[in-house]
Amino acid sequence: MKTIKGPALFLAQFAGDDAPFNSWESITKWAADCGYIGVQVPSWDGRLFDLEKAATSKDYCDEIKGVAAANGIEVTELSTHLQGQLVAVHPAYDAAFDGFAAPEVRGNPKARQAWAVDQVKKALTASRNLGLTEHATFSGALAWPYVYPWPQRPAGLVETAFDELASRWRPILDHAEENGVDVCYEIHPGEDLHDGVTFEMFLERLDGHARCNMLYDPSHYVLQCLDYLDNIDIYKDRIKMFHVKDAEFNPTGRQGVYSGYQSWVDRAGRFRSLGDGQVDFSAIFAKMAANDFFGWAVVEWECALKHPEDGAREGAQFVKDHIIRVTEHAFDDFADGGTDEAANRKMLGL
């Protein structure tokens, strides 16, 4: 068994224009002061990280790691959640997602997709330059507008969508293989990969590509009423990343999973700071330890109620309290009789 690494913090929700959140040096120092030893980096945020340089310059990557290390921080993974989203966008979401792209490709879906693919590939190359072996992203979505089967879906609609999604991602996954990096899709509503079944549909079309893996985040499963503990056992060989995020689901006579278009505060299902929701993290960390998960426990703070800086500080301690330092020997070794094969056969009457 292996002891999970952590705590680490995903910086996407904290990067900003004000100190200490506006530079790599200051935000890594702040993260360390909160109690973290690792950070997951949003590759699109130029205030913290230059993706173009990282993909082409090992020296720049060494500099990034050096500044972090001086503050007691390790880079755990890069993220291309925003760019990955743009690898596949249904026209219904063109306007909503256009702002994720570089200005020069906005309003041009074909150019935007090509830009997104290039961005993810550069992030994979940069991951190799940083000495990282996992990468976080979204799959994007073509079939999501048809997630509810009304009106009746035409035969083959979903299959065609997943054929196209796999076709777009296969060259990226091949590039990941060349760079020795696992692509970990965050299984997330709004993405075509939003549960285990859809991940399997995608993986089948990729012929079981070894670099196609999962980012496990139980909060998204709570909001779908999916068994997040069973999910770990089913996909333990594909779960290569872990977002530690809490959530709660409190249905009423007025709203359930779909929550009536309400804001996050007023939804039946909402994200919460660690320890304030319903996720059984003691059970999750136990399963991760038993299944030899070798990655990082990365806090992703999202909460409609609590201040982010409070959530971050509490989250670091929460993860420390839940990481299981795995045992190196069995608890009953004191009673080991030192038997051998002959003794075993005698005990069996053989």
Q: What is the pLDDT along the chain (350 residues), one digit of tens a residue?
A: 789 999 999 999 999 999 999 999 999 999 999 999 999 999 999 999 999 999 999 999 999 999 999 999 999 999 999 999 999 999 999 999 999 999 999 999 999 999 999 999 999 999 999 999 999 999 999 999 999 999 999 999 999 999 999 999 999 999 999 999 999 999 999 999 999 999 999 999 999 999 999 999 999 999 999 999 999 999 999 999 999 999 999 999 999 999 999 999 999 999 999 999 999 999 999 999 999 999 999 999 999 999 999 999 999 999 999 999 997 766 666 557 677 888 888 889 99
Rounded to whole angstroms, the maximal C-alpha distance in the chain is 80
Contact present, 181 and 213 (Cβ < 8 Å): no
Contact 192, 140 (CB under 8 A): yes
CATH of residue 304's domain is: 3.20.20.150
Distance CA 72, CA 29 (A): 8
Tell me how far apart the alpha carbons of residues 72 and 332 are, in angstroms, rounded to a whole number: 38
In degrees, rounded to 5, the angle at the alpha carbon of residue 182 between the alpha carbons of residues 60 and 52 is: 25
Residue 46: burial class (beta carbons within 10 Å; 0-12, 13-18, 19+): exposed
Residues 112/101, Cβ–Cβ less than 8 Å: yes
pTM: predicted TM-score of the whole model, two decimal places:
0.95
> What three-state secondary structure class fits 25?
helix
**CB count, 10 Å around CB of 171?**
11
Domain that holds residue 35: 5-347
Domain count, the chain: 1
